[in-house]
Every structure is written in structure tokens, then in C-alpha cells.
Structure 1
Amino acid sequence: MSKIEKTEPVVGSPMPDYSIEGLGKGGEVAAIAVGTLAVLAISLGLGKVFSKKN
């Protein structure tokens, strides 16, 4: 096996390491909560867009 080369991501993470700088552990909790709510909102929005209309 060959060594895998380290590469840079094409798009940077909006919240690297699941934290908000300067907030410590509270920043990690806030980042996880924001991420969870964002995924929920996107999922609900897509569900409404693609749901069948009666």
C-alpha cells in the first residue's frame, strides 16, 4: 500500500472542529446545536418542496 497524500479541502469548514472560537466548551455545544438545527431546517424545507400535493 502506498501512503495517502494529505490534501487541502476544496471548501473550508464553516465551523472547524465543531467549535466557535473564544467560547470554549460552550462554543462546541453551540456549534453542534446550530448544525443540527440547520440540517433539520434543510430537511423539512426539502420535504415540503418535494412532497406530493393532493
Structure 2
Amino acid sequence: MLSGWLAALIVGGALVGIGAIAAGLGAMRARAAVPPVPEKTAASVRADAETVKEHL
């Protein structure tokens, strides 16, 4: 029969492993879901900057 500390170590290790896998999958899905910079906003900011440069 397993000692109490060994059983807790096995269960804890399994939980840490499952948590690491879940975190990795979540990070991959988050990176794939949204681009880091919204393209329309970036283009709009560039256009605004060019307009300001032209009128100075």
C-alpha cells in the first residue's frame, strides 16, 4: 500500500501535468484567435500620422 505522502505526490504531479497541458493549449488558442495588432486600427493610425505630417 502507498504511503500518504507518496499518494499525494502522485496526485499533485498529475494535477500539475494536466494544468500545464491545459495552459499550453489555451495559450496556443489565444495566439491563434486574435492578431496581436488590430490591422484596421494600425492602418488608421498610420493614415492619421501621415495626414498630420502633411499639414504641419
TM (norm. structure 2) is: 0.50
The answer for unaligned runs of 5 or more in structure 1 is 1-22
* One-letter amino acid of the counterpart of residue 40, structure 1: G
Q: Which stretches in structure 2 are left out of the alignment for 5+ residues?
A: 36-56
| Aligned-pair CA distance for 1:24 | 1.2
Does 2:34 match 1:53? yes
Aligned equivalents of 1:33, 1:24: Cα separation in 2: 14
Query: Identical aligned pairs, as a percentage?
Result: 19
Higher helix share: 2
RMSD, aligned α-carbons: 1.8
Where has structure 1 moved over 3 Å in runs of 4 or more? none
Distance 1:30 1:45 in 2: 22
How many aligned positions are there? 33
> Which string of whole-angstrom CA distances, capped at 9 and with x for unpartnered residues, describes residues 3-52 of structure 1?
xxxxxxxxxxxxxxxxxxxx611000001100111010000000011121
